[in-house]
Structure 1
Amino acid sequence: METTKCYHCGDHCGTTSIKFDEKDFCCNGCKTVYEIFSSNDLSYYYDLQSAAGATPKEVEGKYDFLDTPAIVERLTEFNENKVQVVSLYIPHIHCSSCIWVLENLNKLHPSVTAAQVDFPKKTVRITYTTAEFSLKKLVVLLARIGYEPYISLEDYDSGKKKVDRSLIYKLGVAGFAFGNVMFLSFPEYFDLHLDESVTEEFWLERYKHLFRWLMFFFSLPVVFYAGQDYFISAYKGLRSRLLNIDVPIALGILVLFLRSTLEIIFNLGSGFFDSLTGLVFFLLLGKFFQQKTYSFLSFERDYKSYFPIAITRINPNGKEESVQVYKIKRGDRLLIRNHELIPADGILINSDAQIDYSFVTGESEPVCKVSGDKVFAGGKQLSGALEMEVLKSVSQSYLTQLWSNTVFQKDRPSRFRTITDSIGKRFTLAVLTIASIATAFWLYYDPSKALNVFTAVLIIACPCAIALAAPFTLGNMLRIFGRKKFYLKDVQTIERLAGIGTAIFDKTGTITTTKRTTASYEGMPLTEEEESLLKNTLRASNHPLSRALYDVLAENNIVPLDEYEEHLGKGLEGSKDDNHIKIGSADFVGTESSANELNTSVHVSSNESYKGRYVFHNMYREGVSELFKTMAADLKLAILSGDNEGEKARLEKLLPKLVPLYFDQKPKDKLQFIKSLQEQGEKVMMVGDGLNDAGALAQSDVGIAISENVNVFSPACDGILDATKFRQLHQYILASKKAMKIIKLSFVLSLLYNVIGLYFAVTGQLQPVIAAILMPLSSISIVTFTTVMTNLLGKKIN
């Protein structure tokens, strides 16, 4: 009796199915999930991929342990102000509809505010409010709709997920069977005739059937276990009316197996079991190589691309020292300045704090904290300086994840990803058409070659090499840039960097350095109390001039301020007891700027009374003049500075002629300037200090923040450049352009390989097992080509 299939999960319903809404379901669980999706306007889930769901499991009481606060604390990444963030491993994630429904969880429950799926890792990062929701309710909800997470406290403690070794097992089975089938096939290969009366009877009559059936049994685990992923993928694709690349591969394996089986059943020959087992073995070997390469690139990206960001650590003697964030350990005491990122979980030691957790949750409402409260990694201090004690060491991969949060990503589709997808969609249909026409021809001309031709065409023509060209080229360039101290958010940034036509630079802290800056004071002497208040106010700021002046001034006792406020593009103000101080531009402190002010100046007023100014003698970075001259050859350049025109004459000598210089530019002016260029069709790169330039960095096509041992870790920027590598900026841009040429050349090589391979396959000159060897070799050759070329490209960067 014919059975119906479940509308939700695709399984057979048996003789009795559950009818609902004119659809069949295998169980009440699938029916319930369908009801949930329908009632919450999520029925588009089935349009993406029909029968894409999984049968939900009964989870009553299974997750009661998630009611324990201590366990929730261990599992969640963030737990503050009735907002929790958790990353869950979900083994069932397998297709586009899975991603779609998981990223639309907010439609199933209003407490879920955001969900982001990492498809390769099969994880989903969910942000939710805890007023009427909890981690247990979230997990139960996921299980009810067929996406039960895998939760192990041991794995969370160690930071490791369950390792999937199925590919290694399948490769081992296929290799073992392939070796034995080849051994059993030797008599058929050699057909020895040493003695006609003895040898022929011994090899071909007495044992040939035994050997052939042994080869058949060896092929069974290869086809139905080692090669099952190709059949499953092809079935899901056909069920969804999509011809994915696994369809011709599965068809080739199936045709070889059925033809070989029929031959030994009816004693027509020995079949093609050697080709069949070799085909699957070499296909899996190619997949294993690709998987290892992807894992290697992922490891390099997550754990070795340390950002050139430092944090201020207070040693036991009370001295402040700048250290790299990944050197921070549990128990260290840190100083977090205004607008600095908190790099690790910790306890607030002194002073109150206003923490912005939008970096983690996407919500910009600040959270008030007092001494003794817990603060979480990823928060940004908004009200002066704070001191904290570290509870957990810094996870660099966590900072990478925060930086790549989709909340801060710009919607810019990758051109090469679009090209790859377009080729992949049309490729399978073309391959099936060519295979059918070639087989029909050989059935008429020479039927003995028809099967080999059909199978060889299906196997040899594979867009895998095309699909690998862009991600491996860009992924390797991302890694090389990281080693050269140029840290980019994602591979799409390299693609956009290659298309830049205009480069805009900030001045202070970007083309100037604070490392060797000197300052002289002009005006009324400051009292001891005023000097102390000035030093402590500067201590809370991350502006390049503030850091330079803080280092120049004499040491003073560190005291917490009663009030602190930083006005971007204007200055700072701080209060302690009855004293109030302002530091910044002349307008900000309430005085007029001098007409003969040729150098950058910071003005000071105390209790609304003007005191004087600190005059800075700017030191420009080494190689600025050479950098601008080389960049001017193929890019439009401009300087946008918030300072006055005092440095104009000096800059005109340093920079190429006709480079426009704009002074007295407020942050909003810089943003508007870039926006106007983009409206004219320009692709703009903004290079700034990451603090005052956040708006301009976000608006630009590529925003690069210069880092000089300052923890200004802004989601606005697309890349962070170590200040010591500033003069190599143009080399990075040129390397990006050459990386795009490598991708295009890889596309040409891949298409050339397919054309040549198809010629030999269609003309009957290619055996299926040879095709199976050549197919992964084509992918390996493209990966090798892109890796070698990008490594050579990287060596040219100083």
Structure 2
Amino acid sequence: MKTKNCFHCGDNCGTKTIVLDNKSFCCKGCKTVYEILSGNDLDYYYDLQSAAGATPKAVDGRYAFLDSLPITERLIEFNDGDLQIVNLHIPHIHCSSCIWVLENLNKLNVSIKNSQVDFPKKTVRITYNSIGVSLKEVVTLLARIGYEPNISLDDFDNKKKSIDRSLIYKLGVAGFAFGNVMFLSFPDYFDLSTSSASGGEFWLNRYEPVFHWLMFLFSLPVLLYAGRDYFISAYKGLRSKILNIDVPIALGILVLFVRSTLEIMFDWGSGFFDSLTGLVFFLLLGKFFQQKTYSFLSFERDYKSYFPIAVTRVTKEGKEETAQVHDIKPGDRLLIRNEELIPVDGILINGQARIDYSFVTGESEPVKKESGEKVFAGGKQLQGAIEMEALKSVSQSYLTQLWGNSVFQEDKTTKFQTLTDSIGRRFTIAVLSIAFLSAFFWLVYDPSKVMNVFTAVLIIACPCAIALASPFTLGNMLRIFGRNKFYLKDTQTIEQLAQVDTAIFDKTGTITTSKKSTATYEGMPLTETEASLLKNTLRGSNHPLSRTLYSLLAEQNIVTLDEYEEHIGKGIEGIKDNEHIKAGSAAFVGSAQTTDSINTSVHISSNNTYKGKYIFHNEYRDGVSEVFQDMSKNFDVALLSGDNEGEKPRLEKLLPKLTPLYFNQKPQHKLEFIKALQDQGKKVLMIGDGLNDAGALAQAEVGIAISENINVFSPASDGIMDASKFQQLNNYILASKKAMKVIKLCFLLSLTYNLVGLYFAVTGQLEPVIAAILMPLSSISVVAFATVATNLIGKKLK
């Protein structure tokens, strides 16, 4: 009787087949999962990849420990009463079907709001309503559908990721087998059968068959265990109609084993078991090296550890100082201004908190908090300044993962990655074609060399080195940029930066500096009450002009405002004890003076009565003229400003001739301007201050926010540059272009290696075991070249 495979997990059903909807299942667990998925319109799971599931394990009482509040508090990374977020490690995640079903958990339970899979890390981040479903129920649901999470509080506390143990075990098995097979092959190497008549005959009659079958036995665990990942990967690729780089490798291993087994069965020879075990051993050794090297470079950890976010700390003497988030300790008193991110969990002390947790939860509805209530890291203050006391130190990795939150992901894909994948596919097709054509030629010309040629071609021409060129080059550049205070979101941003041909600059806070600016007041004098209210209103704003004016005004007692509101692109207003003050543009405060032809100004009104204006005398950053001169040689450069034309004559002298200058540009105008350029086929780089320019930064191919105090979190941007490095902007872009050239040189290096190796393989001069040694060496050479080349580029940035 023909046995059937389980529709859900693919295992053999044996004699206890369970049938439902004309589909076979190996157990009630798989049948239950199918019923859950099909009952919730998630049948598409099986269309993505057949038999992709895992047999669910019994979960009765297994997660009872999650009823303990102290344990769940350690596992949950965000808890704001009704809404909770947890990040769980799911070892079974392995394909697109897994991603699809895990990101549709909300269809299985309406209390689950959102779930996002991180495929490389095999984790899923789940946002859920704790009133409708508990953490225990979420975990139980995952286990019931075959995605049991691996929950380890020790791992959670230490946050240390061990290297892949299975790879070490497979490497050990392959190495042990390779050593023994080599030892058993010594008589064949020294050709003892012809060394002496009696000794050779004794060897042939007694021990040669035994040694050959021992080599066969040693090769079995190598084929079935150590090398199985290559077969699995090749099979999945072919089933998905994709020719991945493991196809020629798996084919080479299989051909070696079959040929060697036939040789010893029919006494044709000793086979190639030494080549087979050596091939798998060196392949795994190369993979182990790549894994260790990638972990050593720690691309993500490096750039995240330099993530530029700071906060204002209030000392015991009442003074305000800028402090890096790394330095925040429990008990520190922090000032969080309007539009600033809360870096740590804490208790609200002063002010009215209106917090946007959409960075964390994806929910856009702001949450109001009163004094004494708890506030959580990742929230963004939307209503003036608040003071809070830190309850714990900052979790840098937690803050930085917000930058990569799917809420802020834009479709800014690059063509280069597609090109890399395309090269890999075409390379595999070419390799298989050359292998079969070479085998056919030698089958006619010299059949004894067919197997050596065929396997050597498959091994030597593996495009692993091509696949490594891009991640190592761009990853190392990401780390180098971080060390030079240029913080990019991901490696794709470097590729995009290398392609830009147009650079758009904002003025205030971007090419001007608030540290050197001065202001004079014209108008009716402000009363003490008005001056105090103005100072405290400015205290809550993060706009460069607000920060500048706040630092220039006289000291005032700090008070909590009754109301505060910031109108992006217009101004701010505050209310205290029925006193109402506005600061911003002339139109915003209600002045009849709608333009100012002299300088940038901040107008003031009190209780709807116009009082006067502060006239700013802008100080431009050192090297602004040189940056524009250098940039204009390679890019179309323009300046967009929300201010009036008062600075136009000065800018025309400072910037290269014919540089387009646009004034009175609202945030929406800037966004539309960039979109119009993109419609013309331009690749746009936008450089702004990260606040009023958020829309333009998000619209551009690359948006870079300039920051002096590095305390404004700007998820709309693709990168943040410390203001002290403004003069290096053109060099950063050129370095990105050089990095892309390094990748192309890596491709050329890999291609040259493959062409040379293929010549010796096709002509029958290359043994498979030598090819197996050379292949990981080619990967090492590409990685080494990419690392050295990018480090040389980095030295020129210092």
Separation (CA, whole Å) in 1 of partners of 2:382 and 2:594: 33
Aligned residues: 798
Distance 1:487 1:303, change over 3 A: closer
The 3-state SS of whatever aligns with 1:603 is strand
**Is structure 2 residue 28 aligned with structure 1 residue 28?**
yes
Give, in whole Å, the separation in 1 of the partners of 2:757 and 2:40. 50
2:219 aligned residue: 219
Q: Secondary structure at the match of 1:91?
A: coil
Secondary structure of 1:716's partner?
A: coil
> Does 1:7 find its partner at 2:7?
yes
Take 2:194 and 2:665, find their aligned partners in 1: how far apart are those partners? 95
Which residue pairs with 1:37 in the alignment?
Answer: 37
In structure 2, the gaps of 5 or more residues are none
* 1:245, distance to aligned residue in structure 2 (A): 2.7
Q: Give how far 1:87 is off.
A: 0.9
Other-structure match for 1:284? 284
1:33-432 alignment to 2 at 5 Å?
A: 33-80=33-80, 82-161=82-161, 163-191=163-191, 196=196, 199-200=199-200, 207-240=207-240, 242-298=242-298, 300-301=300-301, 305-432=305-432
Opposite residue 196 of structure 2, the aligned amino acid is E
Deviation for aligned residue 1:241: 5.2
> What is the percent sequence identity of the aligned residues?
75
Match of 1:558 in 2: 558
SS at match of 2:113: strand
Amino acid at match of 2:395: S
Q: 1:303, 1:397 within 8 Å by CA — same for their partners in 2?
A: no
Give the whole-Å Cα distance in 2 for the aligned partners of 1:619 and 1:310.
Answer: 24
Partner of 1:582: 582
Return 577-586 or 713-722, whichever deviates more. 577-586
Alignment-mate amino acid for residue 588 of structure 2: F
Looking at structure 1, the residues matched to 596 and 140 of structure 2 have their Cα atoms a distance apart, in angstroms, of 71
1:608/1:723 CA distance change after superposition, 3 Å: same
Structure 2: distance between partners of 1:612 and 1:549: 14
Q: Distance in 2 between matches of 1:500 and 1:484?
A: 21
Q: 1:739: Cα distance to partner?
A: 2.0
Check whether the contact 1:308–1:709 (CA below 8 A) recurs between aligned residues.
Answer: no
Q: AA paired with 1:160?
A: K
Partner of 1:626: 626
Aligned residue number for residue 612 of structure 1: 612
- Going from structure 1 to structure 2, the CA distance change for 1:535 and 1:697 (only over 3 Å counts) comes to same
In the alignment, the residues of structure 1 paired with residue 206 and residue 532 of structure 2 have an alpha-carbon distance, to the nearest angstrom, of: 103
Are 2:658 and 1:658 equivalent residues in the alignment? yes
SS in 2 for 1:516: coil
Q: Give per-residue Cα distances to partners, 1:502-558, cap 9 Å, x unaligned.
A: 211111110001112222223333232222222111111111111111112222221
Residue-by-residue CA offset, 1:220-244 (whole Å, 9 max, x unaligned): 3333332222233334444555543
Question: Counterpart of 1:13 in 2: which secondary structure?
Answer: coil
Q: Distance in 1 between matches of 2:305 and 2:673?
A: 33
CA 1:460 to 1:634, structure 2 compared with 1: closer, same or farther past 3 Å? same
CA distance in 2, matches of 1:564, 1:392: 28
Aligned to 1:437: 437
Map 1:694-709 → 2, pairs under 5 A = 694-709=694-709
CA deviation after TM superposition for structure 1 residue 723, in Å: 0.3
Report which stretch shifted further, 538-547 or 302-311. Answer: 302-311
1-side partners of 2:673 and 2:235: how far apart?
54
The alignment's C-alpha RMSD in Å is 2.3
Say if 2:737 is the partner of 1:745: no
The answer to whether the Cα contact below 8 Å between 2:348 and 2:388 also exists between their aligned partners in 1 is yes
Q: AA paired with 2:273? A: F
1:266 deviates by 4.2
CA distance in 2, matches of 1:578, 1:559: 14
Cα pair 2:248 2:462 within 8 Å, conserved: no
Distance (Å, rounded) in 1 between the aligned partners of 2:225 and 2:97: 26
CA pair 215-392 structure 1, distance change in 2 beyond 3 A: same
Residues 302 and 26 (structure 1), Cα distance of their counterparts in 2 relative to 1, 3 Å cut: farther
Which 10-residue stretch deviates more, 735-744 or 318-327?
735-744
User: 1:774 corresponds to which residue?
Assistant: 774
State whether structure 2 residue 512 is matched by structure 1 residue 504: no
Query: Which deviates further from its counterpart, 459-468 or 228-237?
Result: 228-237
8 Å Cα contact 1:459/1:772 also seen in 2: yes
Which residue identity lines up with residue 185 of structure 1 in the other structure? S
Check the 8 A contact 1:81/1:367 in 2, yes or no: no
Partners of 2:347 and 2:390 within 8 A in 1: yes
Q: State the alpha-carbon separation in 1 of the partners of residues 499 and 57 from structure 2.
A: 50
Deviation at 1:443, TM superposition (A): 2.8
SS of aligned partner of 1:288: helix
What's the TM-score, normalizing by structure 2? 0.95
Q: In structure 2, what residue type is equivalent to 1:255?
A: V
Point out where structure 1 has 5 or more consecutive residues left out of the alignment. none
Q: Closer, same or farther in 2 for the Cα pair 1:536/1:596, shift >3 Å?
A: closer
Question: Is the partner of 1:632 in helix, strand or coil?
Answer: helix
Using the TM superposition, give the Cα deviation of residue 448 of structure 1 relative to its aligned residue in structure 2, in angstroms: 1.7
Aligned to 1:722: 722
Residue by residue, what CA displacement relative to the aligned partner does 1:62-87 show, whole Å, maximum 9, x if unpaired? Answer: 12332333332221121225222111
The equivalent of 1:669 in structure 2 is: 669
Contact 1:302-1:400 within 8 A present in 2 as well: no
Give the 3 Å change call, closer, same or farther, for CA 340–292 of structure 1 in structure 2.
same
Cα distance in 2 between the residues matched to 1:34 and 1:747: 45
Does the CA contact (< 8 Å) of 1:352 and 1:370 recur in 2? yes
Question: Quick one: which amino acid aligns to residue 111 of structure 2?
Answer: S
Secondary structure (helix, strand or coil) at the match of 1:77 reads strand
Match of 2:789 in 1: 789
| Amino acid across the alignment from 1:275 | S
Q: CA deviation at 1:17?
A: 1.6
Q: 1:572 deviation in Å?
A: 1.4
Instruction: Tell me which moved more, 555-564 or 85-94.
Output: 555-564
Give the C-alpha shift of residue 313 in structure 1. Answer: 0.8
Find the aligned partners of 2:562 and 2:305 in 1 and give their Cα distance. 39
How far apart are residue 47 of structure 1 and its match? 2.4
After superposing the two structures, state which structure 1 stretch, 440-449 or 497-506, moved more: 440-449
CA 1:191–1:524: 2 relative to 1, 3 Å: same
CA distance in structure 2 between the aligned counterparts of 1:309 and 1:83, rounded to whole angstroms: 26
**Aligned residue in 1 for 2:536:** 536
- 2:643 is aligned with what amino acid? D
